[in-house]
Amino acid sequence: MPGLFITLEGGDGAGKTTQSKLLVEWLQAAGHTVVVTREPGGTDLGVELREIVLHRRGAMEPRAEALIYAADRAHHIATVVRPALERGDIVVQDRYIDSSEAYQGAGRVLGAEEVRELSLWAAQGLMPDVTVLLDLDPTDGRKRLDSARTRYDRLEAEKHDFHTRVRQAFLERAAKEPERILVMDAAGDMSEIAAAIRERIQNHLPHPA
Ligand code: TYD
């Protein structure tokens, strides 16, 4: 496909939103057409699924949770992301398959490989060209969330151990795919992180920005 698919990953409170904004501004200033989106919740259907998976009260089986994220992904990739990539646009997406592997696979202990397979089936095998992993100690992530949040979603509300497994799983995936995944220390300086991200993306751009 002619477009470029970029995803941002990391624990809660790692600063994905800020980095996504800076990256998108830079790409647009260079004249690229950028589609900014996220999972869960990048479509109308996804908005409903997001509300269920993040805020529904009461118990939810981990496999049911994994399937809701996969359902959101299946619809989003088919109706938003693939069409954009086919047009030649740049897609900047908050969270994707690596989040499912980390949160459902490791956090919920469903198994990284199984959850990954489920996601790949949902997305018909689509993988990002570049992924930025904003790595942060969950204790620091929690501190940042505490200052910004009035309510926590079902995943954010999980215990420290859960978030430690999530972080570990992200780092393991990154170690397996160093070509795709750029790991940044999210505790570092915001503008230095942004510069390093730009440098990595630059190599993938169709025309020099
Ligand atoms: P996010 O949109 O990053 O949260 P916010 O914008 O509120 O900071 O992600 C929502 C939550 O969903 C986050 O806790 C991680 C979780 N998540 C999964 O557990 N599995 C997935 O496949 C995805 C995409 C997200």
Cα–ligand 1 centroid distance for 39 (angstroms): 7
Tell whether the model's pLDDT for residue 122 goes beyond 80. yes
> Is 90 within a domain?
yes
Tell whether the model's pLDDT for residue 126 goes beyond 80. yes
Span 92-115, mean pLDDT? 98
> Is 9 within a domain?
yes
Overall number of domains in the chain: 1
Can you tell me the distance from the alpha carbon of 30 to that of 10, in angstroms, rounded to the nearest whole number? 26
Cα–ligand 1 centroid distance for 49 (angstroms): 12
Per-chain mean pLDDT for the chain: 96
pLDDT band at residue 207 under the 50/70/90 scheme: low
Distance of CA 27 to the CA centre of its chain: 19
> Is 133 within a domain?
yes
Task: List the residue whose alpha carbon is closest to atom 5 of ligand 1.
Answer: 12
141 CB near ligand 1 (under 6 Å): no
**Digit-coded pLDDT (tens) for 133-158:** 999 999 999 988 888 877 889 999 99
10 CB near ligand 1 (under 6 Å): no
Question: CA dihedral in degrees (107, 108, 109, 115; nearest 10)?
Answer: -90
**Digit-coded pLDDT (tens) for 169-190:** 999 999 999 999 999 999 999 9
Tell whether the model's pLDDT for residue 208 goes beyond 90. no
Say which CATH number the domain at 144 has: 3.40.50.300
- Give me the residue label for tokens 């440098």: 199
What range does the domain containing 120 cover? Answer: 4-204
pLDDT band at residue 209 under the 50/70/90 scheme: very low
> Is 209 within a domain?
no
155 CB near ligand 1 (under 6 Å): yes
Closest atom of ligand 1 relative to the 145 alpha carbon: 8
Span 70-87, mean pLDDT? 98
